Every structure is written in C-alpha cells, then in structure tokens.
C-alpha cells in the first residue's frame, strides 16, 4: 500500500479516533489517505488552532492528540503549539508534510526546515528518509509522546516518500535503545521518603501537572490522607487534589493563596510530586522554603535538583511510587498528633487570609464574581479551558476543581489564544461534558478563527470572554511596577463580540449587569451549539494576592 495508507493504519493501531489539521500541497497524499480511513478529521482554520486543539484533546482525555499540517507555513504555524506542548508535557504527535526529497535544502516552494526549527521544543522528531521507515516512525512517535514525561513528537514526511508503495506489516514493538524511562522508583529512596514524612513536623505535599499526566490523583489523595498532610497544587496540577477538601491549601505560587505560600515558607519537609520548582512557584529562589528538606518525585531525572536541591530524589512514575510510599508510611504507624501544631498555624492563615475580593455594590460585574458565577452555574461540573492573563489566574483561584483533567490551560509557555482551540479539542474528546472556555478579550482574538471550526463541525463549546478592555495582566504590572505608564495595553475598539459570533454562525450574548449574569450563564450553558458570551467586567481590577516578581512568599501583597 502507499506509505500514507500505512500511516493511517498505524494511527488506527495506536487507537487514534480524531485528528486536527489543515491540508496543503506537501501533505495532499496524507489527506487523500485520510479521505476514507475512518478517522474523524477536524478541519481547523489555522494550524496553531489545530495544534492547541490536539493539546486540549490530550489534556482532557489522556490520549495522544494528533495534528496534521502541510510543509512551510503550515508547519511553522504549528510551532507555538509544539512549544506549548513541550512546556506542559502534553502527549501529542504532529505530522507534517515536507517538500519532495529532491527539493530538500533548495528553498523549494513551501520548504521550511521544520525539524530544525523545532529541535529545541520537541521531545523528539523524526525526519523520514526512507518510506520503509514510516510505520516504525509513527509508532515510535506515539510511544515517545505518551511514555515517560509526555511531550510533543514531530514526524516530517517528504511528499514523494509519502506516495511510495511499501509492504505494510503491523509493527508490534519499537526499538529505542536510548529511551527507557524509569518507572518503579528506587525502593530504598521510597523508604527514606516515608521516614522523612514520619519525622516531619511541618510537612507539605506540593503536587503538579505530573500527577495529572500520570493519572495518579487517587494515589495522591491516598498519600495525603494516610496522615493529615496539607496539600497544595501548582497551576498545572489543579484538580489532582480535590479543591473542596479539609487538607487543601489552595494553589501556590505567584497568584496562589497565602496559606499555601506561607506553608511552603515555613515547612520543614516538602514532598514535591510531578512539579518542577518553576520561577512562578519559587519566587526569589534563594529565599524559597528556607527551612525545608525536599523529597522530589518526578519521572524526568533532569528535573531533579534543577532549581532546588532534592534531599530525597525518587525518579519514576507517580502512579507506581505513591502507593509504595503510602504503604511504607503507614507501616511506620506515626502519631498524627505531631501535626496538631502545624495545622493550628495553617488554620490561622486560612482564617486570616481567605481568598477574597471586594464585590461591587451596584450592577458592575467583578471578574472574580464572574468566575464564581460560572462555578455556580456549572455546578463545578465542567471542563474549563482558559487563555492567558488575569482571567486565567482568577479562574484558577475561584473555580474549585475537584478532579483532574477538568482544568486545561497554558502554564509553561503562557500562550494567549490557547483557550478556544483547546476547548474545541477537549469537546471533541469528551462530547458529553460541558466544555467552557474562560477567555480574555486580548487573547481570544489570537485564535478566534476556530469559531468557524466549532460551527462547521458542531463543536458546542461555551466561550465566556472576561472583557475588561485591557491586556489586563500587563496593565496590572504597569500599574504596580512601572509607575502606571500604560503602554499598549488598552484594547481600544474591540470587535462587537456578539456580532462577531453571529458572523461565524455561532450565538452571541452580552451581559454587563451582575444581577443578570447567573441567568445568562445558565442559558448559555443550556444552549445548543457554540456560544460566545461577552461579559463586561470591571476594567481595572487587579489580581491578588501576588508575590511580586523576584520576591519571596513572605512578601505577598494584596
């Protein structure tokens, strides 16, 4: 069969049901094979949209997301999504067409060296040089994307090779001598960690997106509840531990809760699971958690002691390690009363510094209120995606995620325009779930073209634009740290979002009255098809609390 038909066979063998993409010259053969391959193809309107959709699909379902693009501009349009998937460890496979092999390196029409361009932002990439390698390459790509620390893998297929006739035989295993992710975790280290937990007087469990990727939420809860360990999650980890829980401290980091950040600051032991001590978590590194020893559980050895030296590193899969750690800990039969003092201190912070804001007196909609209303209207039962900015932080703070894979956002790269396409991908993966996008008025327009995809393909996402008329997060920094010199943050005359939605064939709604908001939200959520809801909120509200950049947890403001 043709190599491209073999590609389809491989995709099906990998369990792929949906792919996102846009055709072009160099991947015409792929699209010809796709025509009757029995996969659902979602024809996006921009390759970046296709890429983020594949990410949303992967994050919502845990399955590998797939995006297709042609050579040159198609491939370069994927770059932001690939970088995003790398930063947030999203299992994705990107298949690009490439110019014919005789044109390679000649600046042929629509040639771009996409493997070269993406080299630092992929987990791996494969440039096909022999059509016989194609089936193996596709399976390798999936294997690498989903195992170990997940990430994006790019397969670049020159157009002529994709048309080659090859003998196809199903591939049942891949041979990668240089790739053997550690899974089990070292038993001795696990025992040491259990002892450290037993000796700790002021422990904190600090969990990140790795727990979600490892599908290890239940195991995390189990460990936390094997004693009364306080738990905080990163932005990427939200939902890995149920938010409404007695041991839940809230999110930590730059816009985290005071309780979480103060607990990190005073902890004597921090058990980090699947998180990476990012600068948005640590603040000033030299003053981060100065009293703590660190257990660091991560599948990626390169994360261990990268920013913060780990006293007890454990490399492996959280899903395998956490139950063992839990069992070891239980066997030590520790007296939980030793944590009384710590909890007293934590409760003190929680009472003194709950998350909060001053609500408006009149009809004005405060952005925080908007998220609370959305939480109410959905009953918390929704997958929520977001763009990047203040609205993202407020969504993280005020929508209380009680399960993993319900909060989908761009944390590592911070990609504006991520919200709508990732919601689209999530909805394709989970058609029976309510999928909501909390968008920024600055961000949404960066990938608003995907509304057309949602309409054409009947993907019923509900977009709530938190419309503050500003690039709000940048405005906040200019207000707080740059003497209020507002440089290029006013959105000026934004489009009429209602008309824009309607022009795309979606439904548009506007609301600017607090009293009406809950009812409008309910209607939007119950409506059929994609809806855009323009929510006019307070223009110059700041997102608090906040660790000012480069400062320590102790210096939180607001």
Ligand X SMILES: Cc1ncc(C[n+]2csc(CCOP(=O)(O)OP(=O)(O)O)c2C)c(N)n1
Q: Measured from the CB of residue 375, what is the shortest distance to ligand X in angstroms?
A: 17
Q: Measured from the CB of residue 113, what is the shortest distance to another protein in angstroms?
A: 10
Distance of alpha carbon 68 from alpha carbon 498, whole angstroms: 31
Binding region for Mg ion (CB under 5 A) out of 22-30, 97-105, 137-145, 432-440:
432-440
Q: Measured from the CB of residue 534, what is the shortest distance to another protein in angstroms?
A: 30
Distance of alpha carbon 461 from alpha carbon 531, whole angstroms: 7
Judge contact between 315 and 302, C-beta under 8 A. no
Q: Measured from the CB of residue 387, what is the shortest distance to Mg ion in angstroms?
A: 9
Among 105, 550, 557, 558, binds another protein (CB under 8 A): 550
Count of chain residues binding ligand X (CB under 6 A): 19
> Of 497, 493, 381, nearest to 439 (Cα)?
497
DSSP annotation of 230 reads -
Question: If binding is defined by CB under 8 A, does position 285 make contact with another protein?
Answer: no
Q: Measured from the CB of residue 124, what is the shortest distance to another protein in angstroms?
A: 4
Cβ-based neighbour number of residue 293 at 10 Å: 18
Q: In residues, how long is the chain?
A: 558
Distance of alpha carbon 252 from alpha carbon 263, whole angstroms: 9
3-state SS of 171-198?
Answer: CCCCCCCCCCCCCCCCHHHHHHHHHHHH
Distance of alpha carbon 551 from alpha carbon 286, whole angstroms: 10
Question: If binding is defined by CB under 6 A, does position 412 make contact with ligand X?
Answer: no
Cβ neighbors of 199 (< 8 A, separation 6 or more) are 269
Strand partners, 507: 531
From Mg ion, another protein, ligand X, none, which one binds at residue 548 (CB under 5 to 8 Å depending on kind)? another protein
Q: Is the CB of 44 or the CB of 448 nearer to ligand X? A: 448
Q: Is the CB of 301 or the CB of 495 nearer to another protein? A: 301
Q: Is the CB of 466 or the CB of 524 nearer to ligand X? A: 466
Binding-residue pattern over the window 298 to 317 for another protein, x denoting contact by CB under 8 A: --xxx---x-----------
Q: Measured from the CB of residue 521, what is the shortest distance to another protein in angstroms?
A: 34
Among 189, 368, 422, 468, binds Mg ion (CB under 5 A): 468
> Of 249, 248, 297, 263, nearest to 277 (Cα)?
297
Pairing assessment for the beta strands 40-43 and 462-467 based on DSSP bridges: unpaired
Question: If binding is defined by CB under 5 A, does position 419 make contact with Mg ion?
Answer: no
Q: Is the CB of 462 or the CB of 475 nearer to ligand X? A: 475
Q: Is the CB of 342 or the CB of 394 nearer to Mg ion? A: 394
> Of 32, 30, 29, nearest to 11 (Cα)?
30
Where are the alpha helices (H) located in 19-97, listed in sequence order?
28-34, 47-61, 73-77, 79-87
Q: Measured from the CB of residue 365, what is the shortest distance to ligand X in angstroms?
A: 13
Q: Measured from the CB of residue 481, what is the shortest distance to another protein in angstroms?
A: 5
Cβ neighbors of 386 (< 8 A, separation 6 or more) are 392, 395, 396, 408, 409, 418, 419, 437, 438, 439
Distance of alpha carbon 414 from alpha carbon 66, whole angstroms: 21
Among 440, 463, 546, 556, binds Mg ion (CB under 5 A): 440
Q: Is the CB of 503 or the CB of 549 nearer to another protein? A: 549
Q: Give how far the C-alpha of residue 91 lies from the chain's centroid of Cα atoms, to the nearest Å.
A: 11
From another protein, Mg ion, ligand X, none, which one binds at residue 116 (CB under 5 to 8 Å depending on kind)? another protein
Distance of alpha carbon 552 from alpha carbon 131, whole angstroms: 55
Q: Is the CB of 460 or the CB of 474 nearer to ligand X? A: 474
Cβ neighbors of 378 (< 8 A, separation 6 or more) are 434, 436, 525
Q: Measured from the CB of residue 111, what is the shortest distance to Mg ion in angstroms?
A: 38
Q: Measured from the CB of residue 492, what is the shortest distance to Mg ion in angstroms?
A: 12
Distance of alpha carbon 472 from alpha carbon 462, whole angstroms: 22
Distance of alpha carbon 495 from alpha carbon 465, whole angstroms: 12
Among 298, 372, 387, 441, binds Mg ion (CB under 5 A): 441
Max CA distance (Å), the chain:
73
From another protein, ligand X, Mg ion, none, which one binds at residue 388 (CB under 5 to 8 Å depending on kind)? ligand X
Judge contact between 455 and 531, C-beta under 8 A. no
Question: If binding is defined by CB under 6 A, does position 70 make contact with ligand X?
Answer: no
Question: If binding is defined by CB under 6 A, does position 388 make contact with ligand X?
Answer: yes
In the window 188-207, what residues touch ligand X (CB under 6 A)? Answer: none
Question: If binding is defined by CB under 8 A, does position 548 make contact with another protein?
Answer: yes
Question: If binding is defined by CB under 8 A, does position 179 make contact with another protein?
Answer: yes
Question: If binding is defined by CB under 8 A, does position 125 make contact with another protein?
Answer: yes
Judge contact between 406 and 33, C-beta under 8 A. no
Question: If binding is defined by CB under 8 A, does position 120 make contact with another protein?
Answer: yes
In the window 416-475, what residues touch ligand X (CB under 6 A)? Answer: 416, 440-443, 466, 468, 470-474
In the window 451-480, what residues touch another protein (CB under 8 A)? Answer: 477, 480
Among 23, 152, 253, 472, binds Mg ion (CB under 5 A): 472
Cβ-based neighbour number of residue 490 at 10 Å: 12
Q: Which residues bind another protein (CB under 8 A)?
A: 115-116, 119-120, 123-125, 127, 129, 144, 176-179, 300-302, 306, 477, 480-483, 548-550
Q: Which residues bind ligand X (CB under 6 A)?
A: 387-391, 414-416, 440-443, 466, 468, 470-474
Q: Which residues bind Mg ion (CB under 5 A)?
A: 440-442, 468, 470, 472
């Amino acid at each position: 069969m043709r190599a491209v038909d073999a590609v389809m066979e491989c995709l099906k063998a990998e369990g792929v049901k949906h792919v996102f993409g846009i055709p072009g010259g160099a991947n015409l053969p792929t699209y010809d094979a796709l025509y009757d391959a029995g996969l659902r193809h979602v024809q996006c309107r921009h390759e970046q949209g296709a890429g983020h959709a594949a990410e949303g699909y992967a994050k919502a379902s845990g399955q590998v997301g797939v995006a297709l693009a042609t050579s040159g501009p198609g491939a370069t349009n994927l770059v932001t999504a690939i970088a995003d998937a790398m930063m947030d460890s999203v299992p994705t496979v990107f298949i690009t067409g490439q110019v014919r092999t005789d044109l390679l390196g000649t600046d042929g029409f629509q040639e771009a060296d996409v493997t070269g361009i993406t080299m630092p932002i992929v987990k791996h990439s494969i440039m096909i040089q022999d059509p016989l390698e194609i089936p193996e390459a596709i399976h390798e790509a999936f294997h690498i994307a989903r195992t170990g620390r997940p990430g994006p893998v790019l397969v670049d297929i020159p157009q002529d090779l994709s048309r080659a006739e090859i003998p196809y035989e199903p591939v049942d295993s891949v041979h990668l001598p240089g790739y053997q992710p550690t899974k089990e975790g070292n038993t001795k280290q696990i025992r040491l960690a259990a002892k450290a937990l037993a000796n700790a007087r002021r422990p904190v469990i600090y969990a990140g997106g790795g727990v979600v990727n490892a599908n290890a939420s239940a195991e995390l809860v189990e460990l936390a509840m094997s004693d009364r360990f306080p738990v905080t999650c990163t932005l990427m980890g939200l939902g890995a531990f149920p938010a409404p829980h007695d041991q839940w401290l809230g999110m930590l980091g730059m816009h985290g809760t005071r309780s979480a950040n103060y607990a990190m600051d005073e902890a004597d032991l921090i058990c980090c699971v699947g998180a990476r001590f990012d600068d948005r978590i640590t603040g000033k590194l030299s003053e981060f958690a100065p009293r703590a020893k660190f257990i660091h559980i991560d599948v990626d050895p390169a994360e261990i002691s990268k920013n913060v030296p780990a006293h007890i590193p454990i490399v492996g899969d959280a899903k395998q390690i956490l139950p063992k750690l839990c069992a070891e800990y239980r066997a030590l039969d520790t007296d939980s009363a030793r944590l009384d003092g710590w909890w007293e201190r934590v409760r003190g912070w929680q009472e003194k510094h709950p998350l909060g804001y001053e609500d408006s007196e009149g009809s004005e909609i405060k952005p925080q209120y908007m998220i609370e209303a959305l939480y109410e209207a959905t009953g918390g039962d929704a997958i929520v995606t977001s763009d990047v900015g203040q609205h993202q932080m407020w969504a993280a703070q005020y929508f209380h995620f009680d399960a993993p894979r319900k909060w989908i956002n761009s944390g590592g790269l911070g990609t504006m325009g991520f919200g709508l396409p990732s919601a689209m991908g999530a909805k394709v993966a989970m058609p029976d779930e309510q999928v909501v996008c909390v968008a920024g008025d600055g961000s949404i327009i960066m990938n608003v073209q995907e509304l057309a995809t949602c309409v054409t393909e009947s993907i019923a996402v509900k977009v709530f634009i938190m419309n503050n008329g500003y690039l709000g997060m940048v405005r906040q920094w200019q207000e707080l740290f740059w003497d209020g010199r507002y440089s290029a943050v006013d959105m000026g005359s934004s489009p009429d979002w209602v008309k824009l939605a309607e022009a795309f064939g979606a439904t548009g709604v506007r609301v600017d009255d607090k009293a009406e908001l809950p009812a409008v939200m309910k209607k939007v959520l119950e409506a059929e098809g994609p809806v855009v809801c323009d929510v006019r909120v307070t223009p110059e509200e700041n997102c608090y609390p906040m660790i000012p950049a480069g400062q320590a947890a102790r210096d939180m403001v607001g």
